[in-house]
Structure 1
C-alpha cells in the first residue's frame, strides 16, 4: 500500500508539470491582460509597459514560465493584480468559505442520495422509483441560477425567512452561537441549490450501479441460500455497487475547494468560485494560475483517494 501511494504521488509530478505548462501557455496567449482591463486609457504607453514588467507580464513565454516555476516550488504563486495581495493569501481568505458550503452539501447529498438510489434499484418501476426518477430529472435539468432565483423570490423576498445574499448580516457583529446561526441562515438557500443538483445526479449513479449488481449470479446465489433481503442488498450488493459511486465522489474533492461559481454569484457568497469569476473578468492571470493548479492537485488526490477506497470497499481489489 505504501509503495503504491508513493509511486502514485511521484507520477503526479510530471502530470502537474504538463498541466502547468498548458495553463501558463493558454493564459499567456490569451488576448489582453490585467493592464488592459484596468481602464488606463489616459496612461502613457511607457507607464503601461512599466506596469507589465512589474507584474511579470512581459518577456518570452518560456522565460516567464521558468520564473513562475522557481517561485511556485516555494509555494509563491505571485501577487494577485486585482486584490494586490499574494495569490496564496487571497485563496486562503476565500477558499474556506466555499469549503464550508460545499462540504455541507456533499455530506447531505451522500446521506440522501445513496439510500434513495439503493431503494429505487430494489423497487424498480414502483411508485417510489418513478417519483424519484422524475425528481432526479428535474434536479439535473433545472439550471441552478433559475432555481436559486426562485428560492430567493419565495423564501427571501416574499416570506422573508432567509437573507437574500451574503454570508453574514451587514452592520451587525454577532459572536458565539448567534454568529453560527447567522451564517447558517445565509447558507440555507445556496445549500439547497447545491444539494439538489448533487442529490439528483448521485442518486441516478447509485441506482444504475445497484441495478447492475443485483442482477449478477452471486446475488441470486446469496438469495437461494436463504439470506435475508437486507443482508443480500446492504452487505453483498451495496459494497460492489458503491465502486462507481466512489469514483464520482472522488471527483468531488476539487469541487469542495473549487467553489460553485454560479451559486456563489447568485447569492453573493464570498467564496473562491466568485473570486475566480471576478479574476477572469479582470484577467488576473496570476490568481487564476494559482487557483487552477490547486484544482489540478486536488483532482489527482481525489483519484488517488478513490483508488485507495476501492480496496476497502471490495476486498478483491488489491493495490500493487
Structure 2
C-alpha cells in the first residue's frame, strides 16, 4: 500500500507541474497588463511608473525565467505576492481555504448520502411510482443550473420565509462564540451546501439506481436468493456493496467539478472561500493570486483522486493495489 501511495504521489507531482506550466502560460499570454492596471489605480499611468511596477514584480523578465522563478517558489511553498491585495498569496489562500473545505465537504457528504439513499430506493422499487418520482426529482435538479437553484433558494428561504440567511459565512457584527457561533455558521452553510449538493445528488441517484439494477441481474445475487437469504440482506450485503464501485469512481471524477461549482456558489452567496477569491482575482487580473488558487485547487483534486483509489480497496477487497 505504501508503495502504491508513493507512486501515485510521484505521478501527482508530475501532473501538478504540468498544470502549473499550462496555467502559467495561459494566464500570462492573456490580454491585459497588471502593471498598467495597478498604475491606473494609483492615479499614475505614465510609462516610467508602469515600467517600475514591472521591474518590482518581475514582469519585465522573459516568460521562461518568470516560470522558473515561480516553480522554484512553489517548491518552497511560496506562491508569490498578490498585486492587488498587497499580501502573500499563501496567506490569502490559507485564510479562505477552511471556508471552501467546509462548503465542498458538506455538499459532497449531502450529495453522496442522499444520492445513494434515493438510488437504492429507486432500484428496490423499480418500475413503481416511487421509482418514477425519484427519477423525475433527480432529473430536475440535474438539469437546473446551480446559480438558478441558489437564487430560488434565496428567494424562497431568505426573502419569503425568512428562515435562513442569504449571504456570508456568519452574522456580521454578532461576535458570537462557542456553540452559538457554530450554530450561526451552520445556518449560513445550509443553503450554499444544499445548492451545490443537490446537483451532484441527482447524478449519484441515477448512477446508484442503474448500477444496482445491473448487479441484481448477476448470478451471485440469484445464488443468494436460492440460499434463502432475505431480500433486505441481499440488497445490503451483496447488491449495494458491489454497486457502489461506479459511484465511488464518479465521486472521484466529480472532485474537480465540485470545486468549480463552489466558485458559482460562493459568488452567489458571498461565501468567503477560495472560489470567490479566484473570481475576484480573475476580474482584477491578479496573476499570482489566480495561479496560486489554481495550484491549490489542482492539488486538492489530485488528493481527492488518491483517496478515491484507496476507497476502492475498502469497497471491493478483490481489487489489488497496482502500479
Aligned equivalent of 1:90, options 73, 89, 92: 92
Distance 2:173 2:297 in 1: 34
> In structure 2, what is the equivalent of residue 69 of structure 1?
71
Determine helix, strand or coil for the equivalent of 1:161: coil
Is 2:236 the partner of 1:234? Answer: yes
Give 5+ residue unaligned stretches, structure 2. none
Map 1:1-320 to 2 at 5 A.
1-38=1-38, 40=40, 42-253=44-255, 260-320=262-322
CA contact (8 A) 2:39 2:50 kept: no
- The CA deviation at 1:298 is 2.1
RMSD of aligned C-alpha atoms? 1.9
CA contact (8 A) 1:258 1:295 kept: no
Deviations 1:66-90 (A, max 9, x none): 1111111000010112211111111
TM-score where L is the length of structure 1: 0.94
Distance 2:82 2:261 in 1: 18
- Shift in CA distance, 150/64, structure 1 to aligned 2, threshold 3 Å: same
Q: How many residue pairs were aligned? A: 320
CA contact (8 A) 1:102 1:255 kept: no
Range moving further from structure 2, 295-304 or 30-39: 30-39
Distance 1:105 1:151 in 2: 15
Deviations 1:176-211 (A, max 9, x none): 222222222222222221222121111112112212
TM-score where L is the length of structure 2: 0.93
- Shift in CA distance, 259/84, structure 1 to aligned 2, threshold 3 Å: farther
CA contact (8 A) 2:123 2:209 kept: yes
Range moving further from structure 2, 115-124 or 38-47: 38-47
Distance 1:11 1:101 in 2: 28
- The CA deviation at 1:103 is 1.6
Range moving further from structure 2, 216-225 or 73-82: 216-225
Distance 2:257 2:296 in 1: 11
Distance 2:171 2:13 in 1: 44
Q: Kindly report structure 1 stretches of 4+ aligned residues shifted beyond 4 Å.
A: 252-259
